Amino acid sequence: RFFDVVAGGEASLQPLLEAALRGETIRREGIRLESRGIVSYWDQVYSPLLQDGKIIGVVDVCTDATDR
């Protein structure tokens, strides 16, 4: 499950996932995530995954931008 991997990111990431599930492609830079007291920043793209014209999932491409 997605939020098992990014525990603590639900509040900032849930709206992005929901938008992608509605058919939008979302691009965000410098999303702040904190998990187990560790803060990191991510550039992320969420895009709907289509099969036969139906959304069957979400593709998430992310890059660690913490050092930037």
Rg of the chain, C-alpha, whole Å = 13
pLDDT band at 68 (very low <50, low <70, confident <90, very high): confident
Integer angstrom CA distances of residue 44 from 31, 51, 52, 53: 8, 22, 26, 24
What is the rounded distance in angstroms from the CA atom of residue 31 to the CA atom of residue 55?
25
What is the rounded distance in angstroms from the CA atom of residue 60 to the CA atom of residue 58?
6
pLDDT score at 6: 64
The model carries a pTM of: 0.76
Chain centroid to CA 21: how far? 12
pLDDT digits (tens, 9 = 90+) for 16-60: 889 999 999 999 999 888 877 888 899 999 999 999 999 999 999
